[in-house]
Amino acid sequence: MLTQVFLHLKLQRFHVSRRSGSQLIPSRHQEEAKRAKQRKHGRQLEQYGKTLLIHDPSPDIAADDAGEIGGDDGIERLAGRFHAVRTHLVDEGHRSSHQQSIRSAMQELVHQQHGIRGLEGQDEPPQHPCQCAQRKYRVENEDSWGFRQFWAPEVVQRDGKFYMYYTARWKEKDSLRIGAAIADHPAGPFIDVYDRPMFDFGYAAIDAHILFDDDGRMYMYYSRDCSENVANGRFESHIYGLELADDMITVQVEGICLCQPDQEWEMKSLSRGQQWNEGPFVLKREGLYYLMYSANFFGGHDYSVGYATAKHPLGPFVKYEHNPVLVSDREEISGPGHHSVIASPDGTELFIVYHIHMDPALGGGNRQVCMDRMRFREDGSIEVLGPTLSSLQPVPSASAVQ
């Protein structure tokens, strides 16, 4: 049976679920005590640049409408540590965004200098998952350009600064766009660099991803969202790319289309009148660019990952003929997709981090983080060793494990 929402490394279990009953959600007594303390001392205010964010200690409000939820889980290695981030719309009325950074778990999982470490001498995982630090913020500044559906953050590091690219619904046009914020630490606070989206090409854009190329140039990949894109007589999401200016926040040219749904496995959601190529992630290996992406409806069983290759970061890209490379063929696992890729501490192994549905029979927007190994075959094609049902796997390789 699939163990839900656990990342098993070196026999240590880390729980990133937010379901009721999990140890992540404080007890009612703890919550009431916290609220009483805050009523006494006043709400905690934090000024994040132009956007005022108020720390909201209340538990998340589950959203039943899959169309109002963004998933897009991932692990980023920043400043010598691994950070796991999951976002979803908590409550439209609160204009909320949610971030989970499993910092307390990472204190055991990650060493500041040497990467992953584990607990030695354990034959079995601990009986209880560790508590994970959580924060939920409510946007209070009426001047903020985004007002709901804060989705799909990606954080990259350059010259001691951390750049977050995220999706939000633009108040001015009631349309999804991509924003940018900068911080001095991977956990923030992040300050919006504009009082508007990064760019406006007249269509909804989501799922930003950044590539640093060998020659120092930087590229952004994103999805032209199906909510406003009609092609072939239906709503479709297409993946676009563009080159960023050296400051990493200026867009000088309009994005170009790199791929769109056209393979047979990408047609599983036709009954909805929609198709998807979304959630891009790009790798470069031996001069070849691998554009990985997800296809089909994110709330359905057939959500899966494929890839295309090109000799230039902006294409033309040719899709792998044996796609998808991450797909579920069993009832116990539903909708593996919208991933990121990280390397082991010594750089010899690759891991794909993705989400699946909490309830495989139900699907929808309630999802959990999973992690499996990934590698390149001798012919250069990608092989994903998953999705797996095993809860325990070998520790990632490292030149030094402490």
Radius of gyration for the chain, computed over Cα atoms and rounded to the nearest angstrom: 20
Q: What is the DSSP string of 305-370?
A: EEEEEESSTT---EE-TT--SB---STT----EEEEEEE-TTSS-EEEEEEEESSTTT-TT-EEEE
267, two tokens: 């047609």
Task: Give the per-residue pLDDT at 60.
Answer: 36
pLDDT digits (tens, 9 = 90+) for 324-372: 999 999 999 999 999 999 999 999 999 999 999 999 999 999 999 999 9
- Helix, strand, coil shares of the chain, percent, nearest 5, are 10, 40, 50
Q: What is the pLDDT of residue 392?
A: 82
DSSP per position, 316-328: --EE-TT--SB--
**Residues in a beta bridge with 7:** 14
Number of H helices, E strands in the chain: 2, 27
The band of 389, judged by pLDDT with boundaries at 50, 70 and 90, is confident
- Mean of pLDDT values over 14-24: 26
Q: For residues 61 and 95, is the Cβ–Cβ distance under 8 A?
A: no
- C-alpha of 253 from chain center: 26
Q: Specify the pTM.
A: 0.72
223/219 Cα distance (integer angstroms): 14
Top mean-pLDDT range of 21-35, 53-67, 118-132, 137-151: 137-151
- Tell me the domain boundaries of the chain: 6-384
Mean pLDDT of 124-129: 30
The predicted structure's pLDDT at residue 116: 27
Superfamily name and number for 6-384: Glycosyl hydrolase domain; family 43 (2.115.10.20)
